[in-house]
Amino acid sequence: MGQLREKMKADLKLRRYRARTVGEYLRCARKFVEYHGRRAEEMGEREVQQFLLYLIDERRVSAANQKMHVAAIKFLYGVTLDRPELAVRFPWPRVPMRKLPDILDRSEVERLLEAVESIKHRGVLMTAYAAGMRIREACSLKTTDIDSGRGLIHIRDGKRGRDRFVMLSPRLLAFLREYWKQTRPTGPELFPGQTAGQSVSPEAVRCALRKAVARAGIKKHVTPHVLRHCFATHLLERGADIRTIQVLLGHGSIRTTARYTQVSARHIAGTKSPLDSSRKGPRTTR
């Protein structure tokens, strides 16, 4: 894409898109141009439709993946090429509702964490569960983000660039102090990676988690994000109000948080049926 790529990159940065999103948009736009082997300026709605059908029929991409490509192409034409009248005609895909995640009970979480071999990877996963963090947020923590005096963890530059505070579990603090004694990280990163000045990568933690799941004999589908789901569900089951959970998770909308009411078995089982409110029970004889 050459100069067009650089212009699109600058347009994205000027609008304060996050680095990861900039990379994804540029990657999707490049795939579109390479598929046709023509300059983007020479193409239009027909070529975009052909490319999207290729993604669906041949690449078998998910609706969410298709949505990312559409967003990138809309930006390319609507902003960088200044053809907004064309960009509005590119259809957004219908993204199906996400399936309810598998939720580990507390004993399964304990068993899973015990099965993580590396104390550093265990620290990342324990922190993610204890505070409901996204895996990138947990990996990126600095030692100065742990405020033991106030009992808080400062999450910086979370999703959509938001900062927030979450609780610092006393048990987690004790673990992190022991972890510090054993590893003595030299930089500001709480969980340093292999390269000096960088945090441990989320992929390294995911790999450690997959091994721990197998070692613990857990048959459910478990990812680092499942631990975040477990955090929210377990809080709900213990009586935390949904607004508090929303703030802790950093959700922009209460509707996103409300879906945890669908996955809490204890919350559902503890809800009184209207049948039980009836004064008289049903007849059992004719």
Closest residue by Cα to residue 105 from 129, 122, 121 = 129
Give a yes or no: residue 216 inside a domain: yes
The backbone torsions φ and ψ at residue 154, rounded to the nearest 5 degrees and listed phi first, read -95, 115
Q: Please tell me the predicted confidence (pLDDT) of residue 96.
A: 72
In a shared domain, residues 133 and 200: yes
In a shared domain, residues 113 and 33: no
Q: Please tell me the predicted confidence (pLDDT) of residue 6.
A: 96
CB atoms within 10 A of CB 78: 16
In a shared domain, residues 8 and 78: yes
In a shared domain, residues 67 and 119: no
Q: Please tell me the predicted confidence (pLDDT) of residue 254.
A: 82
Query: Which residues are identified as catalytic?
Result: 134, 159, 225, 228, 251, 260
Give a yes or no: residue 188 inside a domain: yes
- Whole-angstrom distance, CA of residue 120 vs CA of residue 179: 7
Q: Domain range spanning residue 61?
A: 3-87
Q: Please tell me the predicted confidence (pLDDT) of residue 266.
A: 59
Q: What is the token pair recorded at 282?
A: 């049903």
In a shared domain, residues 252 and 117: yes
In a shared domain, residues 199 and 75: no
Q: Please tell me the predicted confidence (pLDDT) of residue 219.
A: 94
Q: Please tell me the predicted confidence (pLDDT) of residue 45.
A: 94
Give a yes or no: residue 20 inside a domain: yes
Q: Please tell me the predicted confidence (pLDDT) of residue 157.
A: 81
Q: Please tell me the predicted confidence (pLDDT) of residue 251.
A: 87
Q: What is the token pair recorded at 6?
A: 């650089």
Give a yes or no: residue 22 inside a domain: yes
In a shared domain, residues 196 and 56: no
Which domain-ending residue is among 87, 122, 145?
A: 87
Give a yes or no: residue 259 inside a domain: yes
Give a yes or no: residue 92 inside a domain: no
In a shared domain, residues 126 and 166: yes
In a shared domain, residues 76 and 146: no
CATH of the domain at 18: 1.10.150.130
Give a yes or no: residue 98 inside a domain: no
Q: Please tell me the predicted confidence (pLDDT) of residue 265.
A: 57
| 239 φ/ψ sector (left φ>0, alpha ψ -120 to 50, else beta) | left
CATH of the domain at 119: 1.10.443.10
In a shared domain, residues 131 and 244: yes
In a shared domain, residues 171 and 62: no
Query: What's at 40, amino acid-wise?
Result: A
Tally of domains within the chain: 2
Q: Please tell me the predicted confidence (pLDDT) of residue 34.
A: 96
pLDDT along the chain (286 residues), means of 10: 93 92 96 96 95 95 94 97 94 78 91 96 96 94 95 87 90 95 92 92 96 96 93 88 89 80 61 56 53
Q: Please tell me the predicted confidence (pLDDT) of residue 240.
A: 86
Count, residues in the chain: 286
Give a yes or no: residue 276 inside a domain: no
Q: Please tell me the predicted confidence (pLDDT) of residue 70.
A: 97
Q: What is the token pair recorded at 233?
A: 């569900």
In a shared domain, residues 230 and 262: yes
Q: How far is CA 160 from CA 21, 65, 202, 248, in A?
A: 10, 19, 18, 15
